[in-house]
Structure 1
């Protein structure tokens, strides 16, 4: 009887472990629309990456939950196993690949851009705001301009509006609606409204999670092949958004 009970307990433990492995915690910032943001009505994570992440989990036959984390600690908390993936508008680059691994890109190499109160803003010798720990911040630091870093993207734009910074440098898809809705207050800096950086945006995972990476890669590939990923990109970024061929 004791052996039977031990066997049953072992079977239950094994089943529980299998369930835990199929429950994936998706880490995101929740502050970078349209990639990810908190829906005011529901209080839940929303945006392009929420919709895409849910679809990828469905195709990979995984149960997923969403975890909000500040950007400046989003990689350390992934490595520390506080969640299992990062879907937070994170560009793939060599520096980050030293710490975590990425799926294939789920966006093409989308451009960054400079926005300011004047089209002739000094972005080479002036002060440029960027979100900390981004490829845009690294680019500004190497450009000769004075880098002013902020924890959130909203603060970078506010720094331009209140005169602390001459310009802001961020993903163009983040800045585009802010420029369009500013009634001319914010404009693109001449010649710097399309700056290519990084290898595209992908899902970050721990270096050891190869099986999980394979599952998500397969789901991303399937969405590229059936055209559903391009449709989602057009939904969130507009009909003129850059698509996968």
Structure 2
């Protein structure tokens, strides 16, 4: 027997011992998240919480993936995704450019929502804002979009230190326009006489991006199938109710 034979045998035995662990190891899902983005992704007592945290963990469990949460700021996380250092990004961490990614099905549908004083039935859509006073800070992207809609009668905009919600509640403004998630949370947490008026002004679906590489597409399919299962069994809707104040997982 040559001197090398015992070494080869030992290596083979070592591989046999290690192989079950390799075979059974779960593939990972590296997810970029913002560290302070309540109610989507945030830490409390060093524990990750929030709607997207619950979604990602549940999707990973259903898909058989080991989830690794990677905190950072939007710009840094997008760069990491484009370099292949992350598999996906929580949507609120910033969407990846479409030319570099494909996306799962949406898991929530949000967008600008009109909020009015409870009992005010004059406003049910964007055209009803004509001739009205809207509490909205000028110069913001939403103000620029709304101001470009050629609403008959025009819209008067005001902002004040007391906040847009209180301006509407006391009657100094007829309406405010904010993201639907924020609108639902506002109504749930503040004892103000406000309610949602009409449908979203436009829809902003939120999805998980994955790279266009074969590995990225394989992960996307697994996560997308998991999201479908979470929708069908009601888990996703319950998560939305818990964190966002209503079920906005379907459009």
TM-score range, shorter chain: 0.5 to 0.7
- Secondary structure of 1:244's counterpart equals coil
- Kindly tell me: are residues 206 and 122 of structure 1, through their superposed partners in 2, closer, same or farther at Cα, counting changes over 3 Å? same
Calculate the TM-score normalised by the size of structure 1: 0.64
Cα-Cα RMSD: 4.4
Residues 36, 88 of structure 1: 8 Å contact kept: no
Give the whole-Å Cα distance in 1 for the aligned partners of 2:53 and 2:73.
16
Instruction: Give 1:58 shift.
Output: 0.7
Larger radius of gyration: 2
CA contact (8 A) 1:32 1:174 kept: no
**1:55-134 aligned within 5 A:** 55-89=58-92, 96-107=97-108, 109-113=109-113, 120-121=133-134, 127-129=138-140
Instruction: Give, in whole Å, the separation in 2 of the partners of 1:72 and 1:193.
Output: 32
The CA distance in 2 between the partners of 1:234 and 1:62, in whole Å, is: 25
Go from structure 1 to structure 2 and tell me whether the alpha carbon gap of 1:243 and 1:204 turns closer, same or farther (over 3 Å shift): closer
CA 1:144–1:16 in 2, change beyond 3 Å: closer, same or farther? farther
Normalization by structure 2: what TM-score?
Answer: 0.62
Runs of at least 5 residues in structure 2 that lack an aligned partner in the other structure: 116-131, 149-158, 164-175
Shift of 1:49: 0.9
What SS does the aligned partner of 2:55 have? helix
- Structure 1 unaligned spans of 5+: 130-136, 146-158
CA distance in 2, matches of 1:162, 1:18: 60
1:12-47 per-position Cα deviation (integer Å, ceiling 9, x unaligned): 9998987887122211113322222222xx223210
- 1:27·1:88 contact (CA, 8 Å) conserved in 2? no
